[in-house]
Chain A
């Protein structure tokens, strides 16, 4: 799996958009970008994934650059419950590929 680089921590004001960046400059053509988050003392929760097009679901939006070397997860209106560690992972989809976690970004939403 391609390696990812994320800032170790970020703050965001409650109600504002949280933009979490991820660099994955060695991503391969068949690798997807996945985002998970882990709230303290819980298992990781899937957020969103994409290959090359921007994606949106009820939780977040994913913006992938045209060269696919970086992406941004957007939480449009951050709440205190969004405080968590966010992990960006790149991997091939299907075939029970292992999910390997990097260090992630600790997002602190501030009232």
Chain B
């Protein structure tokens, strides 16, 4: 089956620093990946669509200069939270489709804590 791996699973960083989260499709190529953010006791909120070889598409209200997305290969997308602040603390999840969008596999998520 399709496997999507996220790394790291947990990260703690100091306020003002940047953090990079990786999302890899392990056994398939993914031209499109999605990034979500989830606050405690809330649903997943789509942040952006990551497209291999082109700029990401951000959802309304998501700051593209703060959440940098790079999709440089068919198996890797990265999300960099720049100049992180405590309010950026959240659970970040990526997803990808092995079969052109018919089904989606989600990563296990990254718990970011900014102190």
Contact = CB atoms under 8 A, between A and B. Distances in A.
Band of interface residues on B: 20 to 34
Contact of B100 (A43, A94, A104): A94
Contacts, number: 55
A43 B43 contact: no
| Interface SS majority for chain A | loop
Interface stretch (B14-22, B60-68, B72-80, B107-115): B107-115
Nearest to B93: A43
A11 to B, nearest CB: 18
Interface in B1-38: 4, 6, 31-32, 34, 36
Contact of A43 (B31, B32, B103, B106): B106
Band of interface residues on A: 20 to 34
A98 B6 CA distance: 19
Interface string A71-86: 0000000000000000
